[in-house]
Amino acid sequence: MGKGLIVSETVNEPHGEGAVDGEKRDFIFIATGAVAALGAASVAWPLVAQMGKAADTLAAGSIEIDLSAVEEGGQLKTLWRGKPVFVRHRTAEEIAQAENTDIANCPDPQTDAERLIPGPSGQVNPKYLVMIGVCTHFGCVPVGEAGDFDGWYCPCHGSHYDTSGRIRKGPAPKNMEIPPYEYLSDTVIKVG
């Protein structure tokens, strides 16, 4: 291998008689680069993915809510997956307001019935409005029985929601979200 040393000193000299095969070198260069990039990406992925939701966060269970505890005209606020859930026991007047709205003029048209989930009887109960109490603008918690539509008003940037939790005025783009829930009995729901 004594000769190898000499060769390494003259590495820029063309070997033997033929000139350097540029195409072959390019291929080796690109192939090596591609393998290295793939390797780097596969190592980078865990570094990025670790920031996602952890298993215990994902497993954050469902909650049960007893609707009968909420008086007419009252609202229950509870925390589900770190977000407030509103359970509003609406008055007859509020229900009428929610149902008699011309939704054609709403930024996010939805009828009141579409925002309720049917109970065991297959009928919706318009008395109880269950939704995630988070403004769809930047995630603030709207204040109840306020705003131009007697529903909710977001103090952060002035979004007005009606008695069905629909966005009616202001910068928020969507109605307040309805969480996945089901009626376990006539008065108990399970959220999540």
Partner 1 sequence: MAGHPSTYEPQYAATRWLDQRLPVIRMGADFMTFPSPRNLNYWWTFGGILSLCLVSQIITGIILAMHYVPHVDMAFDSVQRIRRDVPFGWLLQPMHAVGASMFFLAVYVHMFRGLYYGSYKAPRELLWILGCVIYLVMMATAFLGYTLPWGQMSFWGATVITGFFGAVPVVGESLQQWLLGGYSVDNATLNRFFALHYLLPFVIAGVVGLHIWALHHVGQNNPIGVTPKTKTDTLAFHPFYTVKDAFALCIFLLIFAYFIFYQPDALGHSDNYIPADPLKTPAHIVPEWYFLPFYAILRAVPDKLAGILLMFAAIVVLFVLPWLDTSKVRSMRFRPVARPFFFVFIFFCFILGWCGAGNPDDVAVPIGKGLTFKVLSQISTAYYFAYFLIILPILGMTEKAKERPVSITKSVLGDHAAAPAE
Answer for the pair 65, 78: CB distance below 8 angstroms, yes or no.
yes
Please state the three-class secondary structure of 179-192 as a single string: CCEEECCCCEEEEC
Of 32, 57, 123, 185, which one interacts with partner 1 (CB under 8 A)? 57
Closer to partner 1 by CB, 21 or 148: give it: 148
Nearest approach, Cβ of residue 111 and partner 1 (Å): 24
In sequence order, the 6+-apart residues with CB closer than 8 A to the CB of 50 are none
CA–CA gap between residue 178 and residue 159 (Å, rounded): 18
Say which of 89, 137, 157, 160 is annotated catalytic: 157
Nearest approach, Cβ of residue 89 and partner 1 (Å): 18
Active site annotation includes 137: no
CA–CA gap between residue 138 and residue 151 (Å, rounded): 18
Site membership for partner 1, residue 74 (CB under 8 A): no
CA–CA gap between residue 65 and residue 78 (Å, rounded): 9
Closer to partner 1 by CB, 156 or 178: give it: 156
Site membership for partner 1, residue 176 (CB under 8 A): no
Site string for partner 1, 83-102 (x = CB under 8 A): xx------------------
Site membership for partner 1, residue 124 (CB under 8 A): no
Q: What are phi and psi of 60, to 5 degrees?
A: -50, 110
Contacts with partner 1 by CB under 8 A: the residue count is 28
Site membership for partner 1, residue 192 (CB under 8 A): no
Of residues 128 through 167, those in contact with partner 1 by CB under 8 A are 137-143, 154-158
Chain Cα centroid distance, residue 179: 11
**How many degrees, rounded to 5, is the angle at CA 126 between CA 124 and CA 129?**
105
Site membership for partner 1, residue 39 (CB under 8 A): no
Q: DSSP label at 168?
A: E
Q: Tokens for 106?
A: 């709403």
Catalytic site positions: 157
Query: Would you tell me which residues interact with partner 1 (CB under 8 A)?
Result: 51-54, 57, 60, 77, 79, 81-84, 137-143, 154-158, 170-173
